[in-house]
Amino acid sequence: MKQEFGDYMKQLRETKGLTINQLAEAAGISGSQISRIENGLRGVPKPTTLRKIAEATGVPYEELMDQAGYLQEQALPSEEIVPEWATSKDKRDFRKMLEDDGELMFDGIPLDKEDKQRIKDVLTGLFWEAKQMNKRNKSNNT
């Protein structure tokens, strides 16, 4: 079983010899946010925050995404990842995004099936995060 993300973050920061404030400054986020993550007072950070932390610590982004639970050991069928609040239009948009199954390449080299699945897993998390943010913005503007 994986350790709690906050414990992982604290251990990572200490291993890198960083204080909370040093990590916060390097990542461009607040020290209080780092503290709340480490103490379990805040949920798992968003992928955009994880990317900043990855760049600041030199840890691969994918590793942080995995520790945070965004990447699953055994990928679930995409339909099982759909949040409860998603409307039928949201689900249609999601399926459309995943249907494009063309050849993916990185640096001119075709990606294998496992790499494609990992990319889909990350895109899935980002897709639902963006949908939820858009819904919040619409409700705040009304």
Mean of pLDDT values over 123-133 = 80
Q: What is the pLDDT of residues 77-125, one digit of tens each?
A: 444 566 777 777 877 777 776 666 566 777 778 777 777 777 777 877 7
CA distances for 97 relative to 101, 102, 123, 126, angstroms: 9, 12, 9, 12
Taking domain 5-60, whether its CATH number is 3.40.50.200 is answered by no
**Distance between CA atoms of 83 and 17, rounded to whole angstroms?**
38
Query: pLDDT, tens digit, for every residue of 47-74?
Result: 889 999 999 999 998 888 888 887 764 4
The residue whose two tokens read 């350790």 is 3
Structural domain spans, the chain:
5-60, 78-141
So what's the pLDDT on residue 21? 97
